[in-house]
Amino acid sequence: MAAEPGSAKAGSGRTILASLAALGSILLAFTCCLPMFPFIFAAGAAGSSAFFTKARPFLMAASVLSIGFAFYQRRRAKQCQCKPSVLSTIVLWFSVVMVVTFFLFPQVIANLVANLLAR
């Protein structure tokens, strides 16, 4: 079931999935610094925070690998004369920006979110 040349849907689904996987793993990597829903899940947050602190390097590596896989899928689609969709391009580059930002400035992001939640 090969996609037709020029089809926008050929590689865009995989590219979007890889980009979303990168976003998900980078968000999970930083839950050690800022547990989600702290008032609702106070007891579970401490346990998950400890787990994600240990898993953070692996989750960050998964983010980088997912971004790399997304770019590979995009290049592979272009080799088959498939034009990537606009949505897949936007999601891919948004994922790249988010992963790089979270990777380079984790404490700044944690402080920003903590200040927003304190209001």
Closest to 48 (Cα-Cα) out of 63, 64, 34: 34
For 79-101, b/e burial (b = at least 16 CB within 10 A) is: eeebebbeebeebbeebbebbee
Helices in the chain by DSSP H: which ranges?
A: 9-29, 42-79, 86-104, 106-118
Is pLDDT at 98 greater than 60 in this prediction?
A: yes
Inter-residue contact 33 to 113 (CB < 8 Å)? no
Which one-letter DSSP state was computed for residue 22? Answer: H
pLDDT confidence bin for 113, thresholds 50/70/90:
confident
Per the prediction, the chain carries an average pLDDT of 77
> For the whole prediction, is pTM greater than 0.85?
no
pLDDT confidence bin for 21, thresholds 50/70/90:
confident
CA–CA separation, 23 and 6 (whole Å)? 28
pLDDT confidence bin for 1, thresholds 50/70/90:
very low
CA–CA separation, 96 and 92 (whole Å)? 6
